[in-house]
Amino acid sequence: MEKKAKAKRTVSLENYGIKNATVRYQLSPDELHKTTIEKGQGVEASSGALAVNTGEFTGRSPQDRFIVKDKITEDKIWWGNINIPFDGDAFDALYRKVTDYLSNKEIFVRDCYACADENYKMNIRVINEYPWSNLFAYNMFLRPVEEDIKRFEPEWTVVNAPGFRANPDEDGTRQHNFAILNFTKKIALIGGTGYTGEIKKGIFSALNFILPVEKNTLPMHCSANVGKKGDTAIFFGLSGTGKTTLSTDPNRSLIGDDEHGWTSENSVFNFEGGCYAKVINLSRDNEPEIYDAIKKGAILENVILDKDGHVDFADTSITQNTRVSYPIHHIENIKIPSIGKNPKNIFFLTADAFGVIPPISKLTPSQAAYHFISGYTAKVAGTEAGVVEPVPSFSACFGAPFMPLHPSKYAEMLSKKMIDAGVNVWLVNTGWTGGPYGIGKRMELKYTRAMINAVLNGDLGLYNYDDYHIHSVFGVAQPRSCPGVPTSVLSPRATWNDDEAYYTTAFKLTNAFRNNFKKFEAHCSEEIRRGGPQRYAF
């Protein structure tokens, strides 16, 4: 008997104002991979992964991220240069332009969801101009089972038109690219940029508003994994500090590498279904799990390939922010579903290019709140004219660009949860040792891993006075020894061999901490303020 071909479900985009589109609905990763190559928008690397260039933008554009000011948002959002207001009528007009632009085109549509915990699930429909952006959505969001697709009701919609260019004079944007969130219409409208990270961070920003306001859940810019005994660890940190690298640990099951919610039911869940790793200088020796995740289905962004399709991970001629996205099951040891219990340990990762923060230290609850609100890391300035000076960078809650509410809202929730759950909080400097950027070098990954393992195995208890020493500037508890790490590495001052230079630089950084914290002082208790560095230069 002949098998009846199963009628493939499709969707119409007419209701979205996208007319006469040729809709490619829910294509498989293979089909999207193939289509991208056929259109000349990508090539296959020797690993089997798809390699694309994202175009003009190879990173997010925070100055072009807007939120529509409406009844839902006007009194709640922390408006300013992070959350830039956008007029509702201007949004409608721009939306019409974008949907006109997408009309009569071949359009890639994907139904998926965010939040691995059933109780928090948010259905998303992603509408893409390009097939590889749609593959990104497949990789990064959670993938519904066939049954759920049949009766899928989207809650939020992402409309993604990289080829569309806004006209700032008419459209109310800053320049030709934009990412705008509309909470009334539940739309993330992205145009003029092909950088895929805008798609995932758009939904992240929406959840960072919805979860605390409506669901009493703390959204976090952190990675998470769980040990064999079910002990969850989470890692906060700004871009490049090691969230993805350090959460991908062969001995612990990965929950997620970037965005999580901490519920009032003592659990932590991943928002996403995939990882988005930096690949600059990636090597199989240092990061085998991520290296091996780069295979068919993965998308490499803005890397340089040789004629045989081999990637040169050291080549940053397009950008330093070369990336790969892959569905989480490309990593062997993962937690299914992506949910863990209350964390036992929280790590704040910082890439301190001044090289003065200890590579690992334990924080008191006040220090934890202070450092969370500060959200410190350092940026390494360009090497022009041979001047290399690190620049301190503070981003509240280790993710200010994605946080629509006032940082104190997230900080209060975190403080309360940390105390209720009795978590240990650690500050980890994955940045420089032996001196600042230009003189010292980046902390060896194997040492950072050893320090984190020591914490997770309970080998860095710091219960006895003899086990640690209180850092004279930062006031944090610095362990005197750690299995697998040379003792000298644990004291940043000792690695400098120049006490005067060390303290001068440390004071420079503490002054930056203090200046940054001024704007939060009015919102913070004396206890939190006491969590800051102990000494400043005058």
In whole angstroms, the minimum distance from the beta carbon of 99 to ligand ATP comes to 31
Q: Which tokens belong to 33?
A: 């991979």
In whole angstroms, the minimum distance from the beta carbon of 282 to Mn ion comes to 13
Please tell me whether residue 243 binds ligand ATP under the rule CB under 6 A: yes
Q: Which residue, 139 or 244, has its beta carbon nearer to Mn ion?
A: 244
Exactly one of 246, 303, 334, 423 binds ligand ATP (CB under 6 A); that residue is: 246
Question: Which partner in Mn ion, ligand ATP, none is near 448 (CB below 5 to 8 A by kind)?
Answer: ligand ATP
Binding-site size for ligand ATP (CB under 6 A) equals 19
> In this structure, are strands 84-86 and 122-128 parallel, antiparallel, or unpaired?
unpaired
Cβ neighbours around 289 below 10 Å, total? 18
Binding mask 7-46 for ligand ATP (x = CB under 6 A): ----------------------------------------
> In this structure, are strands 106-114 and 22-25 parallel, antiparallel, or unpaired?
parallel
Q: Which residues are part of the catalytic machinery?
A: 60, 201, 221, 239, 243-244, 258, 323
Q: Which residue, 183 or 204, has its beta carbon nearer to ligand ATP?
A: 204
Residue 158 near residue 130 (C-beta atoms within 8 A): no
Listing DSSP states for 298-325 in one string gives -EEES--B-TTS-B-TT--SS-S--EEE
Q: Which residue, 94 or 351, has its beta carbon nearer to ligand ATP?
A: 351
Distance CA 176, CA 79 (A): 22
Residue 121 near residue 115 (C-beta atoms within 8 A): yes
Residue 219 near residue 212 (C-beta atoms within 8 A): yes
Exactly one of 42, 144, 191, 240 binds ligand ATP (CB under 6 A); that residue is: 240
Longest dimension (CA), the chain: 88
Q: Which residue, 18 or 220, has its beta carbon nearer to ligand ATP?
A: 220
Please tell me whether residue 237 binds ligand ATP under the rule CB under 6 A: yes
Site for ligand ATP in 487-516 (CB under 6 A): none
Residue 18 near residue 103 (C-beta atoms within 8 A): yes
Cβ neighbours around 250 below 10 Å, total? 11
Is 448 a known ligand-binding residue? yes
Q: Comparing C-alpha atoms, which of 209, 174, 169, 168 is closest to residue 188?
A: 209
Q: How far, CA to CA in Å, does 490 sit from each of 243, 262, 450, 479?
A: 21, 31, 12, 7
- Residues in the chain, how many? 538
Please tell me whether residue 427 binds ligand ATP under the rule CB under 6 A: no
Please tell me whether residue 443 binds ligand ATP under the rule CB under 6 A: yes
3-state helix, strand, coil in the chain (%, to 5): 30, 25, 45
Is 201 a known ligand-binding residue? yes
Please tell me whether residue 243 binds Mn ion under the rule CB under 5 A: yes
In whole angstroms, the minimum distance from the beta carbon of 113 to ligand ATP comes to 21
Q: Which residue, 33 or 201, has its beta carbon nearer to ligand ATP?
A: 201
Q: Comparing C-alpha atoms, which of 360, 361, 355 is closest to residue 377?
A: 355
Is 449 a known ligand-binding residue? no
Listing DSSP states for 430-486 in one string gives -SEESSSTTTSEEPPHHHHHHHHHHHHTT-----SGGGEEE-TTT--EEES-BTTB-
Question: Which partner in Mn ion, ligand ATP, none is near 374 (CB below 5 to 8 A by kind)?
Answer: none
Q: Which residue, 121 or 442, has its beta carbon nearer to ligand ATP?
A: 442
Distance CA 402, CA 83 (A): 9
In whole angstroms, the minimum distance from the beta carbon of 203 to ligand ATP comes to 15
Site for Mn ion in 251-270 (CB under 5 A): 258
Q: Comparing C-alpha atoms, which of 408, 323, 424 is closest to residue 372?
A: 408
Q: Which residue, 91 or 236, has its beta carbon nearer to ligand ATP?
A: 236
At 120 the three-state DSSP class reads: helix
Is 241 a known ligand-binding residue? yes
Site for ligand ATP in 265-294 (CB under 6 A): 276-278, 280
Is 323 a known ligand-binding residue? yes
Site for Mn ion in 320-359 (CB under 5 A): none
Site residues for Mn ion per CB under 5 A: 243-244, 258
Binding site per annotation, positions for Mn(2+): 201, 221, 258
Site residues for ligand ATP per CB under 6 A: 237, 239-246, 258, 276-278, 280, 430, 442-443, 445, 448
Binding site per annotation, positions: 60, 195, 201, 221, 237-245, 258, 287, 323, 448
Binding site per annotation, positions for ATP: 201, 221, 237-245, 287, 323, 448
Binding site per annotation, positions for substrate: 60, 195, 201, 323
